């Protein structure tokens, strides 16, 4: 049973990186403020919100992933691209699929649209990739975006040197650069992938989750409280401004009303608009402009490389990382973003007499921009409920001719990259089922002005509802190919600063 407060200054719905960003910035800039954070899922790692990869015991790590799978717990999961090869509709460990409503008749839909329900959200399971947006990915009406991205790097603990000691990492980048870099600006050339990860003195990698964003400063803040297994069913609105939230304690089923001066909804790109809809907050753009990043993956075996030396074998017998993580940035001329990293094994069987140098199988992934469409959307029912008792979702989603063209170009490009790196494995690349990127955006999109095509303004405050802010990938208004978390955190920093400034005068 949770002991909820009667009132707080700020109520935050969701404990992912952007919800954690609001708590962190408010702690730093308005230390007198009281903050309550509500998460529908359980605490699965320590400190709360930590990445499950940091759990060294494999059995405990699997248990944490299972507990993150909400209504889907117990279902079979599969690591990609296995789901593509098998043709099965399965979630990845730590996530669960939308049970129905993911594909309307005659539409492409998002067959593997997925969620996580746990403290830390999807950041307890993500790859940690934090590239910066470029070209048309950038939001033109945010003048301080670069400074915000710098601060987002700080909160997420982004580094570029965690894999510098990997013996194949420079080789992979050199081979990619030979076919990519010509004619590109320096910032768009092949480079190390910025990652929310650091390496400890003992050599072990530590992946950032919401725990890193919160930091010791927030955890030690006496005015901050985190409540897990707590479902926010609606936002209270009085006289045109947010007044608090209604929370259902999932351990007892009891509902509680918590008053708040400010409410931040940072549930995810599908559940944030769901909470607003359930609250009767229904601007025309809510749930609209939904976009996912279509994803093409392939693999190659590095040629002309030597096996790892004895000093590259960890004490446990596990291999150290060999090829690191490389980044092929998005450009408007090549409208996809590339993430190239080591695979633990070949995605297709190899002959027994065809030995593979450990660490020499490299996975290549290209994420494609989406042609933004008003009718690509998530709708919510006024009569049907989901497994949490919230308005049921139904996704409407189509690929346009332009989307198919970009996908065709990505397939051709990834074959060229695989050949540059080494020997392609398999006859052709895989096209992942829609929804596989987990990078859903646009459903609570930001706008420069209240023109009916956006849900919130440049500070993430919802149009027409003072004191209500939205956060997460859904706020991003542009079509992106790069991983969106860094951008979402940057936008959350801007919103949190706005709240902190207002609270300073209360």
Instruction: Please list the active-site residues.
Output: 439
Instruction: For residues 178 and 190, give the distance between their C-alpha atoms in angstroms, rounded to a whole number.
Output: 9
Burial of 355 (0-12, 13-18, 19+ CB in 10 A): exposed
Instruction: For residues 429 and 426, give the distance between their C-alpha atoms in angstroms, rounded to a whole number.
Output: 7
Helices (DSSP H) in 72-115: which residue ranges?
82-86
Q: What is the rounded (10 degree) CA torsion for 356, 359, 360, 366?
A: 130
Half-sphere exposure of 459 (CA within 13 A, CB side): 14
Token digits of residue 124: 């307890």
Q: 119 with 48: CB under 8 angstroms? A: yes
Helices (DSSP H) in 87-209: which residue ranges?
145-156, 169-180
Burial of 344 (0-12, 13-18, 19+ CB in 10 A): exposed
The owner of tokens 């901050």 is: 224
Burial of 18 (0-12, 13-18, 19+ CB in 10 A): buried
Instruction: Calculate helix-pair angle for 485-503, 145-156, nearest 10 degrees.
Output: 100
Instruction: For residues 194 and 327, give the distance between their C-alpha atoms in angstroms, rounded to a whole number.
Output: 8
Instruction: For residues 200 and 205, give the distance between their C-alpha atoms in angstroms, rounded to a whole number.
Output: 6
Q: DSSP secondary-structure letter at 69?
A: S
Name every residue whose Cβ is closer than 8 Å to that of residue 44 and which is 6 or more positions away in sequence: 52, 63, 64, 65, 67, 68, 118, 119, 120, 124
Q: Specify the 3-state DSSP secondary structure of 153.
A: helix
* Distance from the first to the final alpha carbon of the chain: 32
Instruction: For residues 155 and 416, give the distance between their C-alpha atoms in angstroms, rounded to a whole number.
Output: 36
Q: Specify the 3-state DSSP secondary structure of 149.
A: helix
The owner of tokens 């992938």 is: 193
DSSP-derived pairing of the beta strands 255-265 and 468-470: parallel
Q: Of how many residues is the chain composed? A: 506
What's the distance, CA 373 to chain centroid? 21
């Amino acid at each position: 049973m949770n002991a909820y407060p009667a009132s707080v200054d700020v109520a935050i719905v969701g404990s992912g990186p952007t919800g954690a960003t609001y708590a962190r910035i408010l702690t730093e800039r308005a230390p007198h403020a009281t903050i309550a954070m509500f998460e529908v899922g359980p605490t699965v790692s320590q400190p709360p919100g930590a990445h499950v990869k940091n759990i060294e015991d494999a059995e405990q790590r699997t248990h944490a992933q299972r507990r993150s799978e909400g209504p889907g717990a117990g279902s079979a999961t599969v690591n990609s691209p296995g789901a593509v090869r098998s043709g099965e509709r399965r979630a990845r460990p730590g996530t669960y699929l939308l049970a129905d409503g993911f594909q309307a008749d005659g539409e492409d839909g998002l067959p593997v649209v997925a969620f996580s329900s746990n403290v830390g959200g999807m950041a307890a399971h993500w790859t940690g990739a934090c590239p910066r947006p470029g070209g048309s990915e950038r939001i033109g009406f945010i003048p301080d975006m670069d400074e915000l991205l710098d601060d987002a790097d700080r909160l997420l603990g982004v580094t570029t040197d965690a894999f510098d000691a990997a013996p194949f990492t420079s080789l992979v980048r050199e081979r990619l650069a030979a076919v990519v870099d010509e004619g590109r600006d320096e910032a768009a050339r092949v480079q190390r992938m910025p990652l929310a990860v650091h390496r400890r003195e003992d050599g072990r990698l530590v992946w950032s989750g919401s725990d890193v964003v919160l930091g010791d400063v927030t955890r030690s803040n006496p005015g901050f409280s985190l409540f897990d297994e707590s479902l926010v069913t609606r936002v209270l609105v009085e006289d045109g401004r947010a007044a608090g939230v209604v929370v259902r304690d999932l351990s007892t089923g009891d509902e509680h009303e918590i008053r708040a001066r400010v409410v931040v909804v940072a549930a995810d790109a599908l559940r944030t608009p769901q909470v607003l809809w359930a609250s009767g907050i229904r601007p025309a753009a809510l749930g609209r402009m939904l976009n996912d990043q279509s994803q093409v993956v392939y693999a190659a075996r590095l040629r002309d490389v030597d096996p790892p030396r004895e000093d590259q074998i960890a004490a446990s017998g596990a291999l150290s990382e060999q090829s690191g993580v490389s980044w092929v940035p998005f450009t408007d001329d090549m409208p996809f973003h590339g993430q190239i990293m080591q695979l633990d094994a070949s995605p297709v069987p190899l002959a027994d007499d065809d030995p593979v140098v450990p660490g020499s199988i490299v996975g290549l992934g290209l994420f494609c921009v989406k042609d933004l469409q008003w009718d690509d959307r998530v709708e919510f029912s006024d009569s049907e409920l989901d497994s949490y008792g919230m308005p049921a979702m139904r996704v409407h989603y189509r690929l346009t001719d332009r989307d198919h063209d970009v996908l065709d170009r990505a397939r051709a490009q990834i074959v060229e990259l695989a050949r540059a790196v080494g020997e392609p494995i398999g006859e052709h690349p895989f096209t992942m089922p829609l929804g596989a990127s987990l990078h859903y955006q646009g459903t609570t999109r930001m706008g420069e002005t209240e023109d009916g095509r956006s849900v919130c303004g440049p500070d993430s405050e919802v149009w027409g509802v003072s004191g209500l802010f939205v956060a997460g990938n859904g706020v991003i208004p542009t079509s992106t190919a790069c991983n969106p978390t860094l951008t979402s955190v940057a936008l959350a920093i801007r919103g949190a600063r706005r709240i902190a400034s207002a609270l300073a005068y209360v």
